[in-house]
Structure 1
Amino acid sequence: MRKYLPLMTLLLVSLLSLFIGVHNITIDGILHGDSQQLMMLNKVRLPRTISLILAGGMVSISGKVMQHMMQNKFVSAGTIGMMDSARLGILVAMLFFPASTILLKSTFAFIFAFISSLTFLALSRLLPKGDEMILPLAGIMYGNIIGSVAIFFAYQFQIIQNLSSWLQGNFSTIMKGQYELIYLTVPVFIALYLMAYKITVLGLGDEVAASLGMNYKLIQLIVLVLVSLGSSSVLIMVGSIPFLGIIIPNLVSILYGDHLKNTLNLTWIFGSIFLVVCDILSRTLIAPYEIPVSVIVGSLGGAMFIFFLLRRMRR
């Protein structure tokens, strides 16, 4: 029973998410075929809940994979400049292709995120070893520099408001027909799951990988492509979700250990649960108004991040 508890919890909070909001949806109304409630469920609540599950899972496993690959518990797509670079890519698309589609913006976001991750990976080899906080701190500074460049040009070309919509995680605008790009996270997760053993070997270094007959650089490149693709698709659909890629992998590690293949699916489930719960709070705390979910995630995630940091320092 304990084995299926996370999945049952996810199902429970997902069902709860379907019935919480400004517009009232009831089981009785659904069973009796109320057209307005059915339309709200189909066009808004169901797409929103699916997006929460996919986004929470993708951000969490992206962090888990990066942590294994770089052997650092405080690394994630948000702490190596990947998300800031993806936003810069969105800005470039908006400047040079004002009428660009979501697909084109996501392509630019992916390309910039991927190039940035390669750049930071090269820079990380120059950093001193020994203190695991050096890498994420350097990544945050690297990301802030890129983010500052994006904000500067956004102000220069007077599109800061448009860019700001990509900075804050928010699921209130998710509707049927406008969120389907986030389904890219499903094949990305499957690919990462199938590569779990190779990703574990990557964390042991290029010499170990070579001794096992693996092409270290090629596998590393494929993993970065997958993480960049998954992370940029989440960013383009719902915005940035802080701390999630750090706290959930660390929580799963404490509860279930560090074996990547055994915990990758649990990381997805726990990430989805956490994000769905935060979104429910965002809809209920000041109802009928709504708080951006990134504010809730940032508050709870920040507190948990400090806890994990202090726990690590006491060892």
Structure 2
Amino acid sequence: MRRHSAALFLAAGTLVLAAISLFVGVISLRPSEVLFDSEAFGLMLDSRLPRTLASLIAGAALAVCGMIMQMLVRNRFVEPMTAGTGQGAALGILIVVLLFPSASILVKMSIATATALMSSIGFLLIVRRLPPAQPLLVPLVAMIYGGIIGAGVTFVAYQWDMLQYIDTWLNGDFSGVMRGRYELLWIAAVMTALTYVIADQFAIAGLGRDASINLGLNYDQVMILGLLAISVVAALIVITVGAIPFVGLIVPNIISRRFGDNLRATLPLTALCGASLVLVSDIIGRVIRAPYEIPVGTVLGVLGAVVFLWLLYARPNHAR
């Protein structure tokens, strides 16, 4: 019953935050203006609604992918945007810009997904060699691994005088989201929804390779599907709005501490909580220095660090 109540609370909160997001910005809007003013309606349709939908999709997708990655790696302190996947997507975008500057958005997405997938596989291969008795080594290696890839991207961008361009991909920001420039995120939404179909298999994979095979699971296939879903989502989000940190780290930890590790039951809660977190951060970034905006990646960097410290010291409270 607690899980159902939490789902209803999160759904209602997300709807309220979405409504607030639609009417917060440099240009103030009121519901009556949207209904009777064609310019206000156009602003809502072209900017506010796409921005709100992009925040919802990005937050939900990152949170769910963070939960899946933690199950696959069997460590609660990793997430795609700090474990090399996000940096790998940025590397793919840099390769496209340097070698194929006139490529279509589909080509950019494909190359960014491929480099993100290779980065994820590389991280997984490194993690397998770490001693299981020292789980804190995994997030440390993740940060170092992601930092090395990010440093390589920055170095190449500096050589080609593209630092400002690449910074756009490494810092999440919804200010440039408009109608016609966010629709790729719907693919991320579909991929996130598909992960729910095989949520039970991800949960079994989280038991480890030997236990999964003994239970009849095709372990390698599930790992590939999970990494592919994570890579596609990360690439699409980086291409559309940039890298958004901490969502895939703190949201899964909060949900799992409160409601346990039953992915089939907790993935909807994880998606709602991630969407709400990104929406709150985006709204804060719009109002704290209005009419100027603070990128959502910066806001989440501060909020995420505080929540992460709380997670380190708080006692787990698993649902029974």
TM-score between both structures, scaled by the size of structure 1: 0.96
Who is 1:179 aligned against? 182
* 2:61 counterpart of 1:61: no
Contact 1:24 1:37 in 2 (8 A): no
Alignment of 1:1-12 (within 5 A): 2=5, 3-12=7-16
Who is 1:26 aligned against? 30
| Selected match of 2:17 from 13, 17, 20 | 13
Who is 2:281 aligned against? 278
Higher mean C-alpha deviation, range 232-241 or range 211-220: 211-220
Q: CA shift at 1:212, angstroms? A: 2.3
Who is 1:212 aligned against? 215
User: Separation in 2 of the partners of 1:312 and 1:130?
Assistant: 20
Contact 2:81 2:234 in 1 (8 A): no
Question: 2:18 is matched by which residue type in structure 1?
Answer: S
Question: 1:16 is matched by which residue type in structure 2?
Answer: I
Question: 1:50 is matched by which residue type in structure 2?
Answer: L
Question: 2:147 is matched by which residue type in structure 1?
Answer: N
Long gaps (5+) in structure 1: none
Question: 2:100 is matched by which residue type in structure 1?
Answer: F
Identical columns (%): 36
Contact 1:241 1:297 in 2 (8 A): yes
| Selected match of 2:293 from 285, 290, 301 | 290
| Selected match of 1:116 from 101, 114, 119 | 119
Who is 1:242 aligned against? 245
User: Separation in 2 of the partners of 1:87 and 1:248?
Assistant: 23
| Selected match of 2:139 from 126, 130, 136 | 136
CA offsets 1:144-200 (integer angstroms, 9 cap, x no match): 111111111111111111111111110000000111001011221121101110001
Secondary structure, aligned partner of 1:127: coil
User: Separation in 2 of the partners of 1:295 and 1:101?
Assistant: 29
User: Separation in 1 of the partners of 2:205 and 2:261?
Assistant: 14
Residue correspondences, number? 312
Pairwise CA RMSD: 1.4
| Selected match of 2:234 from 191, 213, 231 | 231
TM-score between both structures, scaled by the size of structure 2: 0.94
Secondary structure, aligned partner of 1:287: coil
Alignment of 1:194-209 (within 5 A): 194-209=197-212
Long gaps (5+) in structure 2: none
User: Separation in 2 of the partners of 1:256 and 1:124?
Assistant: 27
Contact 1:78 1:242 in 2 (8 A): yes
Q: CA shift at 1:101, angstroms? A: 3.0
Contact 1:79 1:137 in 2 (8 A): no
Q: CA shift at 1:103, angstroms? A: 2.5
State the 4+ residue runs in structure 1 displaced beyond 6 angstroms: none
Q: CA shift at 1:255, angstroms? A: 2.4
